[in-house]
Amino acid sequence: MKATISIATAATCLLFAACESKRPESAAETTKPEATAAAASPIAQTGPAIKATPNPVPAGSGMGTTTISWTTGDGSEGEVYVSESGQAERLFASKTPQGSGDAPWVQAGISYEFRLYDAAHAKLLGKVVVTRAEQ
């Protein structure tokens, strides 16, 4: 049991360490999310997941940043889309089984729903709503 927890912790740390944080030239741009190889982890996948860290994004001046992390859970390719306050979706990350990317344009008063789909954009695998604390 102790070895299993240590391997899981090490694999999680390696996953996040492999993802490089990049800053866009303007706040309207999104950094290109980096995919990580699903086959690199010897740990069996448990299912699809998507999360945002931090969430809510702390209050502050200018735009806030959250990091979106996802996995399809089975090594199949997926896509992440974002919708701002119920508007049309736009592509955030494409054709990756897992990965993470920064969203450096989070504003107070707007909700951002990040949705993880299968590669055909036919089946919703998971979603997370990101907000920013008011000042």
pLDDT in tens, 77-131: 999 999 999 999 999 999 999 999 999 999 999 999 999 999 999 999 999 999 9
Residue 83 to residue 76: CA distance in whole angstroms? 23
Global confidence as pTM: 0.68
**What digits encode the pLDDT tens for the residues 26-44?**
334 444 454 444 444 444 5
Tell me 45's DSSP state.
Answer: P
- Distances in Å between the Cα of 23 and the Cα atoms of 7, 65, 114 are 31, 10, 19
On the CB side of 57, CA atoms within 13 Å amount to 25
Per-residue confidence (pLDDT) for residue 91, from 0 to 100: 97
Pick the CATH number of 2-130 from 1.10.3470, 2.60.40, 1.10.10, 3.40.50: 2.60.40
Residue ranges covered by each domain of the chain: 2-130
DSSP 27: T
Q: How many DSSP H helices and E strands does the chain contain?
A: 1, 8
